[in-house]
Amino acid sequence: MSLLLDGLAASSGITIAPARLLVGSDLSIKKQHTADENHEVARLHDSFALSRTELQALSQQAHHRLGQRAVTIIDTQIAILDDPTLQNKIIDRINSHHDTAEWAVKKIEDYYLNIFEHKNDNDYLYARATALRDVTKRILSHLLNVPLPDPALLDHRAIFVADNITPTDTAQFNKRYVAGIVTTNGGRTSHFTIMSKTLALPAVVGVKNATTLIHDGDMLIVDGIHGKVIVDPTNDEIEHYRLLAGKFAQEQQKWGALKDKQTVSADGRRFEVAANVGTFADIIDAQEDGAEGIGLLRTEFLYMNREELPDEEQQFTAYKRFVAAMNQQHVVARTLDIGGDKKLGMVKLPREANPYLGFRAIRIGLARPEILRPQLRALLRSSVYGRLAIMFPMIATIEEFKQARAILDEEKDKLEKEGYQVAKNIEVGMMLEIPAVAVMAEHFAKYVDFFSIGSNDLVQYMFAVDRGNQEVAYLYQELHPAVLRMVRRVIEAAHAEGKWVGMCGEMASNPIAVPLLMAMGLDEFSMNSSQILRIRSLINQLSTRKLQPLVHRAINAETAANVRKLVEEYVPEVKI
């Protein structure tokens, strides 16, 4: 009898092959002290040198197998090794606490992860945490003399099953043999997901207990479209998924033809499908994947892994590059969004019992204008190089938005008096993440140029649920009628004032939600770029007028499950 496991669809496609477990080495460490600090420092230097040599070789492999995006990911790890700050902190720990090199590495890793490890939707923070974990694992393997697993040893076609797949694991993949990926951890935006997408490997992540429920040699179906893994499938299931794989391949060919066309529904309604980006490499992905703009530029990347805040010139140089690269397509930049799960070493934040409800995002910017003002100046200066919009995150009251907008206007006036050019048509909007704002949307709409619905936080706050807590994750229901009612209310309020509405959370790329959002009148869908062509294709096939009865039934349903069933019955196109 087959076993169905659910996860997150991280890289689209369907594959059928036996499992190959990629089990991590035992790098567990106990607290130990030394009487010979010089010897431990020498061991540390050797481990850094060996790790650097290995990573340089892997970078060469990645260049030939995966291209420049993969090289950039591995070169980030080399940069971490070459940054004297990391090594010096470990050495200081050895000398001051008399720790062994292994224990000092572990403690400093913990220190950095506490600063920038992510739990929700900050791709850049997640990337930094992933890179650091991969680097320290390699350092520890040399200190402990324990070899790391070698994916290159695979000599037959198989699906890798692991707790985690690191970027350097992926760089060693032989595409001739690796058929797909299943992991217990990870997210849609993790680095190995980006690299598996480059290799066109179906991937499903976040599959609970995958490494204990799946054994070497088990036949697997990996459905990277819907986020499902079938262990020991029946002959009927294998035949069904072979047909589905063929159909998906045909759809992919059609999607490619959409890159240079506008996204228009079957009844002529124009929509914009944009990308969420956090690094310049993401811009390249977005353009390759058919993005019609940038719906969310996460500016936190400029602040990570630094000892001090970036100055205005550093920020201007970066933002100018992003805006200019999009060739007059919309770029919506979010001002610094830290606090909650997002920490910065150079910005001291108070300890809070409930950080997600505390001092974060625009609240920090308004309280500490020395952080907000240079960023706004840099963004304003970059506006003349393309089509820039600016939005403030985590706005809770009209007073907050007015205060933030006033600071922006002040800096614009100063820049113009100083002789700088600033675009005349910069739209200024806000993230809509707090239910209270949605309830008051008709009032906020008088002051903003646009709303960008951050569905991840909006749903989380609506249901009082921490999405990172597996015990209550079932309560995170973006298809719930309450969410649909709130989203419709926001769209109607904005349109009544002639303003546009976008959405930049996971809901925007959910094929079940898209027909409902289209019919409600959402203007812009922004998402991870790998989902763009699929969503554009879906929109092109559907008529907003014909979807109106579906919206009426969905918002009057009782449960999220009812909504899903309604959409799947009414819109069969969502099943691919």
Q: What's the whole-number average pLDDT of the chain? A: 88
50-106 pLDDT per residue, tens: 999 989 888 877 766 665 566 777 888 888 888 888 899 999 999 999 999 999 999
d(CA 196, CA 550): 36
d(CA 445, CA 422): 24
> Which residue(s) pair with 204 in the sheet?
9, 182
E strands, 362-467, in order: 387-392, 427-432, 450-453
Q: Which region among 121-130, 186-195, 210-219, 306-315 has the lowest average model confidence (pLDDT)?
A: 186-195
d(CA 571, CA 549): 12
- Of 11-25, 190-204, 338-352, which has the strongest mean pLDDT? 11-25
- Tell me which residue of 78, 67, 252 sits closest to 170, measured CA to CA: 67
Q: How many residues does the chain have?
A: 576
Structure tokens at 105: 């590495």
Structure tokens at 546: 């014909």
pLDDT of residue 173: 82
pLDDT of residue 112: 83
pLDDT of residue 140: 94
What's the pLDDT band for 22 if we cut at 50, 70, 90? confident
d(CA 121, CA 380): 26
Q: Tell me what the mean pLDDT of segment 21-30 comes to.
A: 82
Tell me the CB-side half-sphere exposure of residue 427, using CA atoms within 13 A: 20
Angle at alpha carbon of residue 113, lines to 112 and 116, rounded to 5°: 90
Whose tokens are 């239910």? That residue is: 435
488-508 pLDDT per residue, tens: 999 999 999 999 999 998 899
pLDDT of residue 126: 62
Q: Which region among 65-74, 458-467, 564-573 has the lowest average model confidence (pLDDT)?
A: 65-74
Catalogue the active-site residues: 191, 504
378-421 pLDDT per residue, tens: 999 999 999 999 999 999 999 999 999 999 999 999 999 999 99
What's the pLDDT band for 123 if we cut at 50, 70, 90? low
Angle at alpha carbon of residue 217, lines to 160 and 161, rounded to 5°: 20
Whose tokens are 């990308």? That residue is: 275
β-strands 293-298, 330-334 pairing? parallel
What's the pLDDT band for 121 if we cut at 50, 70, 90? very low
pLDDT of residue 571: 94
d(CA 47, CA 492): 60
114 exposure class (CB count in 10 Å sphere: 0-12, 13-18, 19+): exposed
Sign of CA dihedral 255, 256, 257, 263: positive
d(CA 405, CA 170): 45
536 has pLDDT over 70:
yes
Per DSSP, 121 falls in state S
What's the pLDDT band for 478 if we cut at 50, 70, 90? very high
pLDDT of residue 576: 64
C-alpha distance from residue 107 to each of 59, 100, 207 (Å): 27, 11, 29
516 vs 304 pLDDT, higher one: 516
122 has pLDDT over 60:
no
343-354 pLDDT per residue, tens: 555 566 667 677
Q: Tell me what the mean pLDDT of segment 545-560 comes to.
A: 96
d(CA 142, CA 42): 13
549 vs 127 pLDDT, higher one: 549
Number of C-beta neighbours around residue 11 at 10 A: 25
β-strands 219-223, 228-231 pairing? antiparallel
Find the helix packing angle between 37-65 and 68-82, rounded to 10°: 170
231-267 pLDDT per residue, tens: 999 999 999 999 988 888 887 777 777 888 899 999 9
- Of 9-13, 216-220, 352-356, 471-475, which has the strongest mean pLDDT? 216-220
Helix, strand or coil, per DSSP, at residue 510: coil
119 has pLDDT over 50:
no
CB-CB contact of 122 with 189 (8 Å):
no
Q: Is the pTM of this model over 0.85?
A: no
118 has pLDDT over 50:
no
